[in-house]
Amino acid sequence: GENVEQHPSTLSVQEGDSAVIKCTYSDSASNYFPWYKQELGKGPQLIIDIRSNVGEKKDQRIAVTLNKTAKHFSLHITETQPEDSAVYFCAANNYGQNFVFGPGTRLSVLP
Amino acid sequence: DGGITQSPKYLFRKEGQNVTLSCEQNLNHDAMYWYRQDPGQGLRLIYYSQIVNDFQKGDIAEGYSVSREKKESFPLTVTSAQKNPTAFYLCASSTGTGGYEQYFGPGTRLTVT
């Protein structure tokens, strides 16, 4: 079955700097890769996703890149702000299969 | 507003008691899910349902039970057989299984003493 690894587990950046979180997956058939942001005590919220027919997707300060050959995808946050502080989860799945989530990255943006 | 509601937000129970967590969605989604989240860990799938009157075990179904009598509702019962029930429980729904965005509810924090 699918296995998703995520690094780093914690990340601290200065406000205004960029943050990068990386995930690797094991099942080459996976074709949908969402990223979720979870604030303390709340449910995760989708912030960006990418499908296997696309190499990069951007939404304002957030971007995701996908390398199918290497089976890894990354979340890039530019010009970080204190409100970006949260736990971020990546996930991978294929049609008809359930999501497999990474263990999460706790991002702290220091003022 | 469309979305997923979970109630209550906090729930306290004594060991040995069964407890039912509520999950309701008005997104007209066919698929619904229950996840368990422990401190500092990712989401683990307990049960999922792709259609009314049908549900499947996830990775950690032991000690839990569900029902799906209505499209909008997917309650989770934590039974006394669950050895470590204290956790944060998240309900989610999606249009279908695989390749579709999952929308999450706000979660229920269950504490069993």
* Partner residue opposite B98 with nearest CB, options A44, A94, A103: A94
Partners of B58 on chain A (C-beta within 8 Å) are 98
Tokens of B98: 């695989």
Confidence of residue B97 (pLDDT cuts 50, 70, 90): confident
pLDDT at residue A108 greater than cutoff 80: yes
Is the bond preceding A111 in cis, omega lying within 30 degrees of 0? no
Residue closest to B92 by CA, chosen among B28, B37, B25: B25
Specify the pLDDT at position A76. 98
Chain segment A42-85, per-residue pLDDT in tens: 999 999 999 988 899 999 999 999 999 999 999 999 999 999 99
pLDDT at residue B98 greater than cutoff 80: no
Specify the pLDDT at position B1. 55
By the 8 A CB rule, do B112 and B83 touch? no
Cβ distance B98 to A96 less than 8 Å, yes or no, reads yes
Rounded mean pLDDT of chain A? 95
By the 8 A CB rule, do A57 and A97 touch? no
Rg (CA), chain A: 13
| Residue B55 contacts A, CB cutoff 8 Å | no
Residue closest to A12 by CA, chosen among A81, A108, A78: A108
Confidence of residue A18 (pLDDT cuts 50, 70, 90): very high
Specify the pLDDT at position B99. 74
B79: CB partners within 8 A, 6+ apart: B18, B63, B64, B65
Q: Is the dihedral of CA A39, A44, A48, A54 positive or negative?
A: positive
**Distance between CA atoms of residues B21 and B9, nearest Å:** 10
Q: What is the mean pLDDT of residues A24-50?
A: 95
* Partner residue opposite B106 with nearest CB, options A42, A51, A101: A42
Cβ distance B90 to A95 less than 8 Å, yes or no, reads no
Confidence of residue B43 (pLDDT cuts 50, 70, 90): very high
Partners of B43 on chain A (C-beta within 8 Å) are 44, 89, 99, 101
3-state class percentages of chain B: helix first, strand second, coil last, to nearest 5: 0, 50, 50
Q: Which of A7-11, A90-94, B99-103 has the lowest mean pLDDT?
A: B99-103
Confidence of residue A15 (pLDDT cuts 50, 70, 90): very high
pLDDT at residue B111 greater than cutoff 60: yes
Specify the pLDDT at position B90. 97
By the 8 A CB rule, do B74 and B92 touch? no
Tokens of B60: 């950690």
**Distance between CA atoms of residues B33 and B92, nearest Å:** 5
